[in-house]
Amino acid sequence: MSERKPAGSNEEKVPLGQKLLDQPFLLLVAGIVVMLAFYTLWGLAEILSLRPAPLP
């Protein structure tokens, strides 16, 4: 279930992408920020900027 590694891989430089993916709290913050920015706060701004409809 794991990827095969060549001999001597312990000394291999870990790629930047892998380093980022190994940071669960970074992913947590990114997930929360993206959702809050695009869905929640933008959505709130849309609703709160609605002008009241004139009553007939």
Partner 1 sequence: MSATLESLAQRFRRCPVTGLQVNRDSELLIQANAVVAVVAMLVGALAAIGLVLTRWQAVHLLPADQYYRYLTAHGLNMLIFWVIFFEMAVLYFAGPVVLGCRQPAPTLAWGAFALMVVGAGMVDWMVFTGNADVLFTSYPPLRAHPNYYLGVILFAVGALIAVSLFFASLVVAKKEKTYSGSVPLVTFGATTAAIIAVITLLHGAAVYIPTWLWSMDIGNIDPEVYRMVWWGLGHSSQQINVAAMVSVWYLLGGLTVGGVVLNEKVSRMAFVLYVLFISMASAHHLLVDPGMGSAWKIWNTSYAMYLAVLASMVHGFTVPAGIETGQRLRGYTNGLFEWLRKAPWSDPGFSGMWLSLVIFGFMGGITGVTLGTEQINIMAHNTLRVPGHFHTTVVGGTTLAFMAVTYYVLPLIFRKRVAFWGMARLQPFVFGGGIVAMALGMIFMGILGMPRRHWDSSFAGSPFPVELPPASELVQVLFGVGGLLAAVGALMFIAIAVVTVFFGKPVTEEAIKAGASGIPQGVLKLPAQVHTGEVAERQHREGVKGTVVLVAIFFVCFIVYYFTNWKMLSFLWKVG
Q: Does 52 bind partner 1 (CB under 8 A)?
A: no
Cα distance from N-terminal residue to C-terminal residue, the chain: 66
Report the residue from 2, 6, 13, 56 that binds partner 1 according to the rule CB under 8 A. Answer: 2
How far apart, in whole angstroms, are the C-alpha atoms of residue 26 and residue 5? 26
Q: Does 55 bind partner 1 (CB under 8 A)?
A: no
Q: Does 41 bind partner 1 (CB under 8 A)?
A: no
Over the window 8 to 27, marking each residue x when it contacts partner 1 by CB under 8 A and - when it does not, the resulting string is ---------xx--xx-xx-x
